[in-house]
Amino acid sequence: MATNGVRALEALAEPTRRAIFEALPHAPKSVGELADLVGVSSSAVSQHLKVLRAARLVMVRPEGTRRVYTLDPRGLGDARDYLEQFWPSALAAYAAALSEARAER
């Protein structure tokens, strides 16, 4: 079973979803605004937003007759937590590579 961090990374692997996600840090946006920004139909944006919401990467709130989307910090935290588990081994591999390079001098 995928963790929330994996779901977030999987959701962002699709280029259109990633473009939608990257459009939101600046200000909340409606489906229509996102469609104009990424160059796909409002229907397609709605489907991508459904995936992003399931991965806890975006939140929606009503604003008059529109629904506006913003980033959801929970999904970002999930992705960060998932990736952080790899840092100790990545840093150890980097230290080993440095030691090996110094020994070859």
**pLDDT for 75-104, tens place per residue?**
989 989 988 988 888 888 888 898 888 888
How many domains does one find in the chain? 1
Instruction: List the CATH number of the domain containing 39.
Output: 1.10.10.10
Domain around 33: 3-104
Instruction: Specify burial of residue 47 (Cβ count, 10 A radius: 0-12, 13-18, 19+).
Output: middle
Averaged over 14-39, what is the pLDDT?
A: 96
Q: Which single residue is written with the structure tokens 């939140």?
A: 59
Confidence at residue 54, expressed as pLDDT on a 0 to 100 scale: 95
> What is the model's pTM?
0.81
Neighbours of 5 (CB within 10 A): 21
Angle of CA points 91, 92, 95, to nearest 5°: 85
Confidence at residue 2, expressed as pLDDT on a 0 to 100 scale: 62
